[in-house]
Amino acid sequence: MSDELLKQIETKTSDLLKQVTETLAKRSEEKGQVSVSKMDENQLVHYNLSYSTAEKRISDHFTKYAFAKENGTGELEQDMARLFAGEAAHRLRSELASRKDEYGASDALLNDLFSPDMNKKIQELTSRDRYNKVGDAALTGSFGALATEDLKDIRDTYKKIAEQVVMPHAEHVHRNDDFVPDDILQSLLDNGAFGLSIPEEYGGYQDTFGNTGMMIVTEELSRAGLSIAGSLITRPEILSKAILKGGTPEQKTKWLGALATGEKMCAVAATEPDYGSDVAGFKVTADPVEGGWVLNGVKTWCTFAGYADSLMVLARTEKDPGLKHKGLSILIAEKPRDKGHKFDFAQPSGGKCTGSAIPTIGYRGMHSFEVNFDNYFVPAENLIGGEAGRGKGFYLQMEGFAGGRVQTAARANGVMQASLEAAVRYANDRKVFSKPIADYQLTKWKIARMAMIVQASRQYSYEVARLMDNHQGLMEASLVKFYASRIAEWVAREAMQIHGGMGYAEEYAVSRYFVDARVFSIFEGAEEVMALRVCARDLLAQALGQS
């Protein structure tokens, strides 16, 4: 099938998705703005609008990438792009047709997508022979070009670290819920991993490698061990971006260099026990005292809070309840490092900071804590932005979370790649009814689809990283986080299924990939919040011409 026919499908699906988005925007409009309450009358269609848009944008970019000769791609990527485009087009038309009136889908545009000619094109794109062809290539270890020759050295460096330093520890730490081994921390420190999101003027490497370099490092480390390596550089990225956006010159000088070298290790204390993404209800307070502030209240899901000596705390500094999220500020609370599952630190002034690790089914190693602050003193100089930063904490944190979201996509890509590789190894080795399961057509379909998804998600993640290098791509970061997080569960699940009973045993790492993949749709913004409060709302706002 020619590239031209792919473009025809791309155009038709784009027209229909644009029409539906505009219709939903008009239905949600109230006084010229998007009304969240009106959107909530039918959350399902807005959730699915976000997913369909994410998949559509990934498909369009994947096609562009696969057919661009300068990327070093070839027939394998092109067949992957055809499969992805065919699946995406079919899912879009089926979803919209099933709720045509709720979406306000045009009869003419929808019928055109179900025409005999379109049916034939989609059938050809997603033919059994094409799945078999891609599956056979993946089963021989051909997963597609990476198209990052300019960053090959950093990939090679961290692939070596991943395989020689991280992988030997991954299963032990997971099964015993141990802490991140010292040699992993030291390897990342020695190779500048903590400075990838920090400009060179502060001792980092962002200007050299950009966000794409950060994505590559995250992907390689997550492939080896998500919670003992792949997630280590997320926290300094979130804090450094908040400081770069709103910190004082003195704070930038003090903190960014220390974060880049690993002199300071940080954690993020945002979520509260009764409030996840609903930041307007946050109750942890920061009250002014002589020389600074005192923190009171409980934060939860503070990953790495034990070992971190600096906690990025989103707290309520303004007492007017009507301010909601505009009454929040960011303070950096300092404490000693601790590798255990519990910590208890008392300040000379009498303030206390205690933490207890929350048992989890996966994502073990860094430990996620519930942290309690009891009149815990934070000096005035640790209020990000100083007095000018009061009430701006939510916006500064969102600046950091945008980077964290695209990095989550890279983490998901790494776990998916590990799952794919494990599935390929087992499928080639395991025999059922006297032949390798790799020879069965259903296995080939699964492997082909896994390889196609990983490559499509990876390449769009790189594209979003490039957008972010140019101070763009905030919504795209949420879209790719939403997509990669959700689809990672399917990839890990199918890798586990290919292993059969052994996939359910801890003897094989694929069981770890499965429980680790589950966390992606929860942290850095739950997928429902991503879909409804970020992606869908922004898509509708754009359709109304608000941005």
**How is residue 379 annotated by DSSP?**
E
In angstroms, rounded to a whole number, what is the distance separating the alpha carbons of residues 483 and 531? Answer: 10
Using DSSP, how many helices (H) and how many strands (E) does the chain show? 21, 12
How buried is 104 (Cβ within 10 angstroms: 0-12 exposed, 13-18 middle, 19+ buried)? middle
Task: Give the three-class secondary structure for 36.
Answer: helix
Cβ neighbour number for residue 441 with a 10 Å cutoff: 11
- Of 221, 225, 223, 219, nearest to 171 by C-alpha is 225
How do beta strands 328-334 and 285-289 pair? Answer: unpaired
Among residues 77, 219, 476, 524, the one annotated as catalytic is: 524
Quote the CA–CA distance of 376 and 336 in Å, as a whole number. Answer: 13
Joined together, the tokens standing for residue 30 give 């109230």
| CA 163 centroid distance within chain | 22
Any idea of the CA torsion for 218, 220, 224, 225, to the nearest 10 degrees? 0
Specify whether the CB–CB gap between 95 and 20 falls below 8 A. Answer: no
Radius of gyration over every alpha carbon of the chain, rounded to an integer in angstroms: 24
Q: Residue 84: in which H helix or E strand, if any?
A: helix 75-98
Distance CA 518, CA 516 (A): 5
Task: Name residue, tokens 């929808």.
Answer: 110
Nearest to 362 by CA among 210, 480, 520: 520
d(CA 170, CA 167): 5
Q: Which helix (H) or strand (E) holds 353?
A: strand 352-357
Which residue has 């473009």 as its token pair? Answer: 7
CB 150 within 8 A of CB 30: no
- How do 310-316 and 292-303 pair as beta strands? unpaired
For residue 371, count other CB atoms closer than 10 A to its CB: 26
Q: Which of 295, 284, 293 is CA-nearest to residue 376?
A: 295
Phi-psi bin for 545: left (phi > 0), alpha (psi -120 to 50), beta? Answer: left
Q: Which helix (H) or strand (E) holds 109?
A: helix 107-113
Q: Is 524 a catalytic residue?
A: yes
469 within 8 A of 210, measured Cβ to Cβ: yes
Q: Catalogue the active-site residues.
A: 524
